[in-house]
Amino acid sequence: MATPDSPIRVGIVGGTGYTGVELLRLLAQHPHVELTAITSRKEDGMAVADMYPSLRGHVNLRFSHPDRAALNECHVVFFATPHGVAMAQAESLLAAGVRIIDLAADFRLQNTAAFEHWYKMPHACEPILREAVYGLPELHRERIRHAQVVGNPGCYPTTVALGLAPLLAEGGKLIDTQHLIADCKSGVTGAGRKAELGLIYSEVSDSFKAYGVAGHRHHPEIVEQLEALLGRPVGLTFVPHLVPMVRGMHSTLYARVTPEGQNTDYQALFEAYYADEPFVDVMPAGSTPETRTVRGSNMVRIAVHRPSNSNQLVVLVVQDNLVKGASGQAVQNMNLLFGLPETTGLQHVAVLP
């Protein structure tokens, strides 16, 4: 077992994207981690710091070919890969005693039909999926501690699940759980590091749009989490939007208060629900959190409003989509897996401005 005296040997599969470089930023300064291997089929032999000069002096590794990487000697392997890669390699890594944190979608959805519909591939290892744990520590902390495989949540689902979870208390009596709305806004890194026309600066800058209105792969993931909390079906309309900014996600959540929920103090409800969470900050009443207040940090900030004392609740949630929405949360999960304090290596102050 890894201990402070015996660091966690970490492997990364596919470290050339944004979740990869963000993992490297966080792990390079984690006090109990030894970066052991990072793979890239395409960049085999290239120094990681040549691709990302921000890592010069911090990461001395080179990318190695997946076939030659010493992944089996790692304590844990992160997959910062396209969907489908982790499930192809999971069995052999597990057999070697390596634990897995997948930042793609292979181990997020228990509903494999939904997985196959949205990700356009059959699921390759359902038995492993059944044992995998959804890596949202605020909801599944105890199960994560003992997991062999963690499916690290999508960025949108992290904000929506954390923003609505307190409202599903008391058996969902407080709100109309059949007509939830999540109007979400993401910075451009949410789309990954891909040479796509729709992502180039001149297409995205100084403009704003919705996308995926007819359907988005994070919809079933959110719904699965909410239904697990509630114990019965929910109805959710989810509309993602693209914001001309690099990092940051802002979800505006709408829930209608039921007659039974009219007298609830929602500010107090949220504060109590997250009182012991190191990475969820319930803001004072009346706040409107800015995404920049979490830039580069693993924090989620939440504000709950009931405008004009109407029966419409508005919950505002911000996170850095690459940290709490991806790589920071993955490190948080790693800390849980290895019995470290959950905040180890994750106490960065947000870079503001």
Stretch that binds its own copies, among 72-80, 84-92, 145-153, 282-290 (CB under 8 A): 282-290
164-169 long-range CB contacts below 8 Å, 24 or more apart?
164/226, 164/253, 164/255, 164/315, 165/138, 165/139, 165/229, 165/273, 166/266, 166/269, 166/270, 166/273, 166/274, 167/255, 167/266, 167/269, 167/313, 167/315, 168/226, 168/229, 168/230, 169/269, 169/273
CA–CA distances in Å: residue 148 to residues 84, 108, 246, 346? 18, 14, 33, 22
Residues 206-225 that bind its own copies (CB under 8 A): 206-211, 213-215
Q: Is 127 in the site for its own copies (CB under 8 A)?
A: no
Nearest to its own copies of 152, 321 (CB atom): 321
DSSP 226-260: HHHHHSS---EEEEEEE-SSSS-EEEEEEEEBPGG
Which residues, in sequence order, are CB contacts of 332 under 8 Å at separation 6+?
137, 279, 298, 342, 346
Nearest to its own copies of 60, 237 (CB atom): 237
Q: Give 325's DSSP letter.
A: I
CA–CA distances in Å: residue 156 to residues 4, 218, 219? 34, 7, 9
Q: Is 35 in the site for its own copies (CB under 8 A)?
A: no
Query: How many binding residues for its own copies (CB under 8 A)?
Result: 88
Nearest approach, Cβ of 123 to its own copies (angstroms)? 22
Active site annotation includes 125 = no
Q: Is 62 in the site for its own copies (CB under 8 A)?
A: no
Q: Is 351 in the site for its own copies (CB under 8 A)?
A: yes
Residues 228-257 that bind its own copies (CB under 8 A): 235, 237-239, 241, 243-248, 250, 252, 254, 256
* Out of 1, 95, 197, 275, the residue judged to bind its own copies by CB under 8 A: 197
Token couple for 93:
């890594």
SS3 63: strand
Decide: 63 and 48 in contact? Cβ < 8 Å. yes
Residues 164-193 that bind its own copies (CB under 8 A): 179, 181, 183, 185, 187-189, 193
Nearest to its own copies of 149, 304 (CB atom): 304
Q: Is 281 in the site for its own copies (CB under 8 A)?
A: yes
Residues 283-322 that bind its own copies (CB under 8 A): 283, 286-297, 299, 301, 305, 307-308, 310, 312, 314, 316, 318, 322
Nearest to its own copies of 43, 106 (CB atom): 43
Nearest approach, Cβ of 12 to its own copies (angstroms)? 15
Q: Is 137 in the site for its own copies (CB under 8 A)?
A: no
Nearest approach, Cβ of 292 to its own copies (angstroms)? 4
Stretch that binds its own copies, among 62-70, 75-83, 117-125, 341-349 (CB under 8 A): 341-349
Q: In whole angstroms, give the CA distance from residue 317 to residue 289.
A: 7
Residues annotated as part of the active site = 155
